[in-house]
Copies of this chain bind each other. A is one copy, B any other.
Amino acid sequence: MVATIKDIAKRAGVSTATVSRVINDIGGYGTETRDRVLQAAKDLGYYKNETATSLVTNKTKTIGIIIPNVSTNFYGNIVNGIEDVAYEHGYSVILTHAGIEGNRLGDSLKLMANRRVDGVIIVSIYLGKKQQELITWLNLPTILLSTQAEGDTLPYIKVDDYQAIYQATQYMIDHHHPTIGLVGINDTDKIAGLPRLKGYLDCLKQHNRPIDRDYIVFGDFSFDAGVAAMQQFFKQKKIPSAIVCASDETAMGVKSVAYENGLTIPDDLSIIGYDDTSIAWMSSPPLTTIGQPLYEMGAKGCERVIKAIADNCEMVSEIVPFKLMVRKTVKTLNDKPC
Chain B residue nearest in CB terms to A75: B76
**This protein's copies in its complex:** 2
Binds B, one of A80-88, A145-153, A194-202: A80-88
Chain B residue nearest in CB terms to A257: B284
Chain B residue nearest in CB terms to A81: B71
**A338 interface hit (Cβ, 8 Å):** no
Return A261 CB to nearest CB of chain B, in Å. Answer: 11
Interface size class of A (residues with CB under 8 A): 35 or more
| Measured CA separation A116–B290 after assembly (Å) | 42
Return A23 CB to nearest CB of chain B, in Å. Answer: 12
| Measured CA separation A142–B109 after assembly (Å) | 28
A95 contacts which of B95, B107, B286 (Cβ < 8 Å)?
Answer: B95
| Measured CA separation A96–B249 after assembly (Å) | 27
Query: CB distance A114 to B256 under 8 Å?
Result: no
Tell me which residues across on chain B come within 8 A of A94, comparing CB atoms.
Answer: 62, 92-95
**A60 interface hit (Cβ, 8 Å):** yes
**A25 interface hit (Cβ, 8 Å):** no
Tell me which residues across on chain B come within 8 A of A115, comparing CB atoms.
Answer: 50-51, 92
Query: CB distance A83 to B71 under 8 Å?
Result: no
Return A268 CB to nearest CB of chain B, in Å. Answer: 13
Considering only residues 66-125 of chain A, those with a C-beta below 8 Å from chain B are 69, 71-73, 75-77, 79-80, 83-84, 87, 92-97, 107, 110-111, 113-116
| Measured CA separation A329–B212 after assembly (Å) | 37
Known: A71-B73, A87-B96, A256-B283. 18 other contacts (CB 8 A): A47-B110, A50-B114, A51-B116, A71-B79, A72-B76, A72-B278, A73-B73, A73-B278, A80-B97, A83-B95, A83-B97, A87-B97, A92-B111, A92-B115, A93-B96, A223-B282, A258-B284, A279-B279
- 6 A-B pairs with least C-beta separation: A259-B284, A71-B76, A252-B282, A47-B113, A51-B54, A50-B114
